[in-house]
Structure 1
Amino acid sequence: MTTLLDPTSHPAPTGADAEAALAALVGADQLVPLIDGPRVRYANLDYAASAPSLQVVADQVSAILPLYSSVHRGAGYASQVCTAAYEAARSTVADFVGAREGDVVIFTRNTTDALNLLASAIPETPTSAVVYLDIEHHANLLPWQARDGRVVPARETLAQTVAALEVELARSPAALLAVTGASNVTGELLPLAELADLAHRYGARIAVDGAQLVPHRRVDIEAAGIDYLAFSGHKIYAPFGAGVLVGRRDWLDAAAPHLAGGGAVRSVSLEATVWTDAPARHEAGTPNVVGAVALAAACRAVRELPADAVERHEEALLRRLDEGLAAVGAVPLRLWAAETERIAVVTFVLPGFTAELVAQYLSAEHGIGVRDGKFCAHPLLTRFNATDGAVRASVGLGSRLADIDRLISALAQLRADGPAWTYERINGYLAPSPDPRELPSWLEPDDAGGPASPCVTG
């Protein structure tokens, strides 16, 4: 099994990362069938959608499962262990993102759930508006639309975009500025400390969608002045169904509970309910103990890497990806050209081929996993005139230069010769036809259903 950042699996970008080896990724050397019969190592270039589990995370989950039990109210030993693990996970996550003393850590299902929770917690006042950009993932756009938020179109340059946000914040008071930390389409980073200063200057708080940022960059919310940060375990090598909202306590203590149910209360009668404070106030029902413990384990593991190890690891991969895509005539989607720093997420269109066909071809004929569609960022794709979608390649800790080379070689072959297989629309989606690839033995054929791509239209 491949060791992360191990120069024997792919050369370290600067030769300085050999000491940064971490536990392997589960499935790092997974073989998948090609449409014409052979099996190849799966080239996972879809980290931006969901990252595989770190082995240390899977090991931590295996360790707690024999003791899995109820939390907070159980007297048994197993319950006490799970309660301790669950609450310790809060501290680990808080330390990982540099939370302030007094900040609250609330476990949610994912980033979308966390941002919807925050949306429900904004005090209802004449100045409770939310300002946001039109480049956001739906998770950081739809909750604000529902609150009649004030959208600011991104400008031609990043500096002009920041200036436009300032104009909007100065024009009329707002409670919150909500921005992405790193675009899930272009990979571009926003200047969070600068935006936090800007929001605070005009009496607003700032919330950051950190789903793409946190797996790729160190985040210190106290140092950056970030008031709220949301991110998901499944983006940071802990795909066990947990997300998190970290931030200032006052709004969350005063807000109506995210869900009404057990665990969120101090007392209940048939006439009235007295709710408890955050975080329990917003974690009604039996919490996802395993997910929280997994997320904390991932945070610990990533934190153990040298401060710039991930950036250096991705630098060579991103450079090879940019150069290779240019060589095969692919057109990358960028907002601000070379103006901003990026994480290793690149979305592109390949002239002459639909995004659906490119993605299906890469999977079926080359064993490469990418994402196609509109990436739950429809307004941004509309800005790019990519109304039929695009293709996204994204890398992570387990990615290798060989994965990038396979992608570029496959795209060059597609442009030169076209696909070798036939592809037809099945249940509304493009798919190989016929598709003789066998499903894993544990997946019943009737469970598989047809192909699905919810963010193409969703």
Structure 2
Amino acid sequence: MATSEKPREEMVTTHRARSAAEIRADFPILARQVHGKPLVYLDSTASSQKPQSVIETMNTYYQSYNANVHRGVYEISEEATAAVERARVKIARFIHARHSKQVIFTRNTTESINLVAYSWGNANIHSGDLIVLTEMEHHSNLVPWQLLAQRTGARLEFVPVTEDGLLRQDIYDELLTYHPRLIAFTHMSNVLGTINPVQEMIARAHAVGATVLVDGAQSVPHLPVDVQALDADFYCFSGHKMLGPTGIGVLYGKRELLEAMPPFMGGGDMIRTVKLQASTWNDLPWKFEAGTPAIAEAIGLGAAVDYLNDLGMEWVIEHEHEITAYALERLQEIPGLTIYGPRALEQRGGVISFTLGDIHPHDLASILDQEVGVAIRAGHHCAQPLMERYDVAATARASFYVYTTTEDVDALVQGLQKAQQIFSF
């Protein structure tokens, strides 16, 4: 669906100040209890909770116009098609893409990166080419490039991470002198909370002719993102981390790159003509969307974008800075607790990874769940090389979002103090 004009109802965006209690009331799951205690959800980096408006929007699709898209000429099919393409337009505007055709629906960030690795990578990466990654990458932004290097004979080099959780920009500049073909890095670390200087890094990469992919799984939900201002060649993110449903992700790409790339998967809807011996491909974005798409999920992601737009992304980042600052202050009260990541608040998002003495992070997470109803993540967070960099097997991780309150942080601190009592140190 081509569109360059804003629908009338989206011409003006206003943000109404809302209290934390009002916002929390929009999320049904936050009213439940676990182990007889109110749920305190501090694992939004893994997956966010969903507001009622997203749930209702998806239910309305299933109850009122459930049909396949792009194929039917009957009314409810046309309604479903229009709803999916409206969602695409909303998402394009949310990340400030030039055109909605640059928004490709995938299952998640992982599939988006793999799409680029196979489609663009197989056509453009050759034996001896250099691919530059970083030590802080999620496995989703490591393994696809390892597989590409194995297929093509390319070589991988990595930008190290400092003790404070920042990328070694001097090493990055040194690697650029070798004229890498591709550079891929995260906008915001899912472990350290580090917000990388993406715009500057992309500009320096382009100066030596490199193509750049940015993993935006942690940034799009939490920061204002403008892909045109960043000048990203590819930008990937997931719906379930930004108040939307699981099973829907996005690949943004520059149009000239997407136009030149061969399809990732073959099948229905991604074709223009099919003969027994050969086929031709559909236009963007459908060239990369073989088969029946995640219809309800795309519509639900559009509703999630509406919710975030209503709050305003500047409010989102300000709120998370306040919560993170409060959490960093309160966690200093816990003896034996080590926090990983940047010390400066302006360099980090709403993610705090930590260890507490000799308590295994899995034990810590279990105690928090059982004793105070606090849900955190424990493990290597799909970033095993980063764990190795800091010489730890795992960390505990608390992460925040629009519904997080200072009372949630207080419950976390209470639970950590309880863990200390249990382990008697």
Match of 2:168 among 161, 169, 174: 161
Q: Does the aligned pair in 1 maintain the 2:135–2:161 contact within 8 Å?
A: no
Query: Residues 237 and 249 of structure 2 are in contact (CA less than 8 Å); yes or no, is this contact kept in structure 1?
Result: yes
The separation in 2 between residues aligned to 1:179 and 1:124, in whole angstroms, is 18
Match of 1:401 in 2: 406
Q: What residue number does 1:234 align with?
A: 240
Q: Tell me the residue number matched to 2:50.
A: 53
Alpha-carbon contact 1:121-1:254 (below 8 Å) kept = no
Give 3-state SS (helix, strand or coil) of 1:28's partner. Answer: helix
Relative to structure 1, is the Cα distance of residues 135 and 8 closer, same or farther in structure 2, using a 3 angstrom cutoff? closer
Q: Which amino acid aligns with 1:414?
A: A
Does the 8 Å CA contact 1:43/1:367 hold for their aligned counterparts? Answer: yes
Deviations 1:65-111 (A, max 9, x none): 22010111101101000111111111111100011248611000000
Tell me the equivalent position of 2:8: none
Distance 1:245 1:162 in 2: 27
Distance change >3 Å, CA 218–CA 323, structure 1 → 2 = same
Q: In the alignment, what sits opposite 2:376?
A: 370
Task: Check if 1:327 corresponds to 2:333.
Answer: yes
After TM superposition, list the pairs within 5 Å mapping 1:46-445 onto structure 2.
46-65=43-62, 66-101=64-99, 104-122=102-120, 123-126=123-126, 129-148=130-149, 149-156=155-162, 161-171=168-178, 173-329=179-335, 330-334=337-341, 336-338=342-344, 341-387=347-393, 389-418=394-423
- One-letter amino acid of the counterpart of residue 351, structure 2: V
Amino acid of the structure 2 residue aligned with 1:287? P
Q: Give the counterpart letter for 2:275 in structure 1.
A: S
Residues 135-165 of structure 1, C-alpha deviation per residue, up to 9 Å, x if partnerless?
A: 1001111111122252223243788722322
Question: Structure 2: where are the runs of 5+ without partners?
Answer: 1-15, 150-154
Structure 1: 5+ residue stretches without partners: 10-17, 420-458
Of residues 271-280 and 336-345 in structure 1, the stretch that sits farther from structure 2 once superposed is 336-345
CA–CA separation in structure 2 for the residues paired with 1:263 and 1:23: 40
Question: What is the root-mean-square deviation in Å for CA atoms of aligned residues?
Answer: 2.2
Does residue 40 of the first structure (1) align with residue 47 of the second (2)? no
- Between 162-171 and 343-352, report the one with greater CA deviation: 162-171
Cα drift, residue 288 of structure 1: 0.5
Change (3 A) 1:101 1:128: farther
Alpha-carbon shift at residue 128 of structure 1 (Å): 5.7
Query: CA 1:394/1:125 → structure 2, altered by over 3 Å: closer, same or farther?
Result: closer
Closer, same or farther in 2 for the Cα pair 1:160/1:143, shift >3 Å? Answer: closer
Residue 450 of structure 1 corresponds to which residue in structure 2?
none
Letter in 2 for 1:170: T
Q: Could you tell me which amino acid in structure 2 is paired with residue 63 of structure 1?
A: T
What percentage of aligned pairs have identical amino acids? 33
d(CA) in 1 for partners of 2:181, 2:196:
20
Shift of 1:274: 1.7
Amino acid at match of 2:42: L
CA–CA separation in structure 1 for the residues paired with 2:243 and 2:369 = 22
Partner secondary structure for residue 304 of structure 1: helix
**Counterpart of 1:327 in 2: which secondary structure?**
coil
| Alignment correspondent of 1:7 | 19
| Distance of 1:128 and 1:293 partners within structure 2 | 40
Distance 1:348 1:160 in 2: 19
Tell me whether 1:26 sits opposite 2:28 in the alignment.
yes
Question: Aligned AA for 2:223?
Answer: R
The AA in structure 2 aligned to 1:219 is V
Higher-helix-fraction structure: 2
Structure 2 CA distance for aligned equivalents of residues 72 and 22 of structure 1: 37
**Structure 2: distance between partners of 1:71 and 1:5:** 37
Is residue 317–residue 344 contact of structure 1 (8 Å, CA) maintained in 2?
A: yes
CA pair 7-118 structure 1, distance change in 2 beyond 3 A: same
Q: CA deviation at 1:130?
A: 2.7
Q: 2:11: which partner in 1? A: none
One-letter amino acid matched to 1:168: L
- Matches of 2:183 and 2:101, distance apart in 1: 18
CA distance in 1, matches of 2:230, 2:414: 41
Compute the displacement of 1:203 (Å): 0.8
Report the CA distance between 1:45 and its aligned residue. 0.4
What code does the residue aligned with 1:92 have?
K
2:339 alignment partner AA: P
The count of residues paired between Structure 1 and Structure 2 equals 398
After superposition, what is the alpha-carbon deviation per residue over 1:2-33, rounded to whole angstroms, capped at 9, x for unaligned?
A: xx984363xxxxxxxx9xx697123121212x
Could you tell me whether the CA contact under 8 Å between 2:248 and 2:298 is conserved in 1? yes
Distance 1:189 1:230 in 2: 16
Task: Supply the distance in 1 between the matched residues of 2:174 and 2:101 (Cα, whole angstroms).
Answer: 30
Q: Report the Cα distance in structure 1 between the residues aligned to 2:246 and 2:286, rounded to whole angstroms.
A: 20
Aligned pair in 2 of structure 1 residues 25, 102: CA closer, same or farther (>3 Å)? closer
Residue by residue over 1:151-199, the C-alpha shift from the partner in whole angstroms, topping out at 9 and shown as x without a partner, is: 223243788722322221221x333221101000011100111011111
Question: What letter matches 1:322 in structure 2?
Answer: L
CA distance in 2 between partners of 1:64 and 1:284 (Å): 21
Q: Give the counterpart letter for 1:407 in structure 2.
A: L
